Structure 1
Amino acid sequence: MTALLSVRGLKTHFPVRAGALRRTVGQIRAVDGVDLDIMPGETLGLVGESGCGKSTLGRSILRLIEPTAGQVIFDGIDVATLDARRMKAIRRDLQIIFQDPVGSLNPRMHVGDIVGEGLHANGVRSRAERDHRIKEILAAVGLDASAAGRFPHEFSGGQRQRIGIARALVLRPKLIVADEPVSALDVSVQSQVLNLLAALRQQFSLTYLFVAHDLAVVDYMSDRVAVMYLGRVVEVGTARQIRTNPLHPYTRALLSAVPGRERQRIVLSGEVPSPLTPPSGCRFRTRCPMAQEICARVEPALDAHPSGARVACHLSH
C-alpha cells in the first residue's frame, strides 16, 4: 500500500537574532530531520514531552509553519514545493484540529459561519448548500442544528472542541492533524471526544496524525506510534509494540510514567537540552541511564529492528 503522507528529512528551524542589527546568531532546531509515513485510513500517534517539536511537525506538514528543508509528499504531491495558489487547492484535503477549543474559535462569529468559512473559501457560493452541509456536519459531531446561530462562548469546552472538529471535517479532508485535541478538556469530557474522533474516522474514512503527550491516549487512538525527542523521531512501532516492548530508553521512561502501569518507575535526570544547542551524537544521551561512549560520537539512525519496529538507539539492536 502506498503511503498517503510521506515525510522525508523534514526540518523546521527558527532563527535566533541578537544585537542592534538583529543578526542571526543561531537556529532553534524545533524539527530536525524527521522521516514518517502514514497509510490511508491509519491513525499515527505522535508522542513526546512538551517542547519536543510535535506540534511544530504537525503544522509544518500543513505549511501553517513553513519548513526549512525536506519533503512533505501528500497523495503523490510534494506540498513543500507548491506556490500559494496550488497549495490552496490541496488544503481542503489537509485540515487541523487545534488544541485550544477557546482561542481557536473567533468569538465574534456565529458557529455556522466558523464551520462554513472553509466552504465559502473553496468555492461553495450557494448559501443553501453551505447551510445544508453545516447542519449535516454539526449533527455528525453531536451538535444540534440550532448551534449554527449561536456564538462560541455559549458552549462548554467539550462542545467548542466539537465545533473545531466540525470545521475540520466540513470539507471532507483526507488527512487531519489532531494537535492535542483533548489536553485542554476535563477528564470526564476527554473520553467522549476521543470516542467521537474514532467514530468519525470510520464514518468519513479519515487518516489522522494524532499529536499528544499522553501515551495512554495515544495508545487508545493509534494504529502506530512515533516517539519524538528534541526534534527527532526516536522510535516507531505499532501501538501494541510500543506498549508491550518499548525499545528506546526514552520510550521506556515515558511508559513508566503512565499511571497504573506495573513497570518500575524510571526517573530521568536533568532537563531537556535546548534545541538551540542539542547534544552531539544521540540527543537523549545526557539523560539516558544506559549511555556509552559511542552515544556521544555517533548519532543513531532510525533503523529497522527484528521486532518490526524502528528505533534510533545504538544499544537496542
Structure 2
Amino acid sequence: MNEPLLRARDVRKYFPVRSGFLQRTVAHARAVDGIDLDIRPGETLGLVGESGSGKSTLGRILVGLMTPSAGELSFEGREIAGLGGSDLRRSRRQLQFIFQDPNGSLDPRMRVGEIIGEGLHAQGAERDVRNKLVNEMLDKVGLRREAAQRYPHELSGGQRQRIGIARALVLQPKLVVADEPVSALDVSIQSQVLNLLVELKRELNLTYVFVSHNLAAVNYVSDRIAVMYLGKFVELASTEQLRRAPLHPYTRALFSAVPEPIPGRRRQSVVLKGEPPNPIDPPSGCRFRTRCPLARDVCAEREPGLTPRPGDANDHLVACHFA
C-alpha cells in the first residue's frame, strides 16, 4: 500500500462567538471537530453533507487556506498545519483549491491570462514561461488561447469555471480540493465540467477532494466518500460500498433523496425531521441522535467512534451504535 499523500489527525476548527460591547468570546462554533483522514495518491475523495456540516471548512484546512484550531496535518510526511512565509508559498504549488463561485473568485480587473498566471508569478516564474504554461492550460481546459486577453465578465459561467480550474492546475499540484465546482452552473454545463475534471485527473495524475452536496455528482467522480454531519464523519467507505449498502441512518437519508435514474423504479424515501443542531452547543453523545429514527438512551450517553462494523471490511467505517 502507498503511504497517504495527505494525513489529518484530530483536526479541529472552532470559530469564536463574540458578544457584548467589548466583543468578548463567549462560545465557539465547532465547524470541524476531530477529523481523522488519510487521502491516498491518485484517488478522488468525495465530501458530502448538508449545508453547515463543515465540509467546505475542512477542504480549506486541507490546502492551508485556513489554519486548524488543533490537530496534525501532514503532506507527503511533512507537517503543513503551521507553515508560514516561504515554506507556505512552496507548499502552494502542491496544494490547490477550486472555488465554488466562478464570478466571485475571479478578479474582474484582471485579464484571463493574468488570472491563470498569477500563481506562477508568485512562485517566481519568468514571463515567457508563464505565457507558455498559461496557453497550454487554456488548451487543456477547452478554451481558446485568445481568451487570455479577455476579462471574466466577457465569458460565460462555464468558461469562468474553466478559468478557475486552469488557475488551480497551472502550478502542477498533486492535491486539488474542488469546493462545489458545478453547483453554480447550469445543469447542461455541469456534466461538461465534471467530465473535464475526470479527464484532467487522468492526464495530470491528480488527487482530488471533491466537496459537494450533490450526491449524483459525487458518485460519478469519487472513489471513496466521506459523509459529514455537524463537523464529524459519520461514515467513510468506497463509492460502491455506500451505493450498495449505506449503514448510517444519515447516509441512508441522503442517498434516498437522489432521483432514481431508471423509470418505474422507486427507492424507499427517508425523511429527516427537524433541523441540524446548533454547532455552538451540539448534543451530547451522538450528534445525529436528535433526528435519528434509531436513537436510544446510549446515544445520548456515549459518542460512537468511526469504526468498522462486525463482518464489514476495514475500509467501511461508520459512527453509529446501531448501524
TM over 0.5: yes
- Per the alignment, residue 251 of structure 2 pairs with 251
- Per the alignment, residue 205 of structure 1 pairs with 205
**Deviation of 1:85 (Å):** 2.3
One-letter amino acid of the structure 2 residue matched with residue 92 of structure 1: R
Residue 307 in structure 1 maps to residue 312 in structure 2: yes
Instruction: Give the secondary structure class of the aligned counterpart of 2:88.
Output: helix
Of 297, 303, 306, which aligns to 2:301? 297
Residue 73 in structure 1 maps to residue 81 in structure 2: no
- Per the alignment, residue 43 of structure 1 pairs with 44
> For each residue in 1:167-222, what CA deviation from the matched residue of structure 2 results, as whole angstroms up to 9, or x when unmatched?
00000000000000001100000000000000000000000000000111101000
* TM-score (norm. length: structure 1): 0.98
Instruction: Give the secondary structure class of the aligned counterpart of 2:16.
Output: strand
- Per the alignment, residue 286 of structure 1 pairs with 290
**Deviation of 1:128 (Å):** 1.4
- Per the alignment, residue 172 of structure 2 pairs with 172
One-letter amino acid of the structure 2 residue matched with residue 198 of structure 1: V
Q: Distance in 2 between matches of 1:212 and 1:310?
A: 20
Alignment coverage as a number of residue pairs: 315
**Deviation of 1:23 (Å):** 1.0
One-letter amino acid of the structure 1 residue matched with residue 23 of structure 2: R
Deviates more, 1:262-271 or 1:168-177: 262-271
Contact residue 67 and residue 82 of structure 2 kept, 8 A: no
> For each residue in 1:103-153, what CA deviation from the matched residue of structure 2 results, as whole angstroms up to 9, or x when unmatched?
0000000000000000010010x2111111000001000001001000000
Unaligned runs of 5+ in 2: none
Q: Distance in 2 between matches of 1:149 and 1:106?
A: 14
Query: What are the residue-to-residue correspondences of 1:181-260 with 2, within 5 Å?
Result: 181-260=181-260
* TM-score (norm. length: structure 2): 0.96
Deviates more, 1:57-66 or 1:295-304: 57-66
Q: Distance in 1 between matches of 2:6 and 2:124?
A: 26
**Deviation of 1:81 (Å):** 2.6
Instruction: Give the secondary structure class of the aligned counterpart of 1:185.
Output: coil
RMSD: 0.9
Q: Distance in 1 between matches of 2:61 and 2:281?
A: 21
Query: What are the residue-to-residue correspondences of 1:47-196 with 2, within 5 Å?
Result: 47-124=48-125, 126-196=126-196
Unaligned runs of 5+ in 1: none
Residue 272 in structure 1 maps to residue 276 in structure 2: yes
**Deviation of 1:66 (Å):** 1.6
Deviates more, 1:90-99 or 1:302-311: 302-311
One-letter amino acid of the structure 1 residue matched with residue 289 of structure 2: R
> For each residue in 1:211-236, what CA deviation from the matched residue of structure 2 results, as whole angstroms up to 9, or x when unmatched?
00011110100000000000001100
Q: Distance in 2 between matches of 1:46 and 1:230?
A: 13
> For each residue in 1:254-307, what CA deviation from the matched residue of structure 2 results, as whole angstroms up to 9, or x when unmatched?
001111173211111111101011100000000000101100010110012332
**Deviation of 1:84 (Å):** 2.6
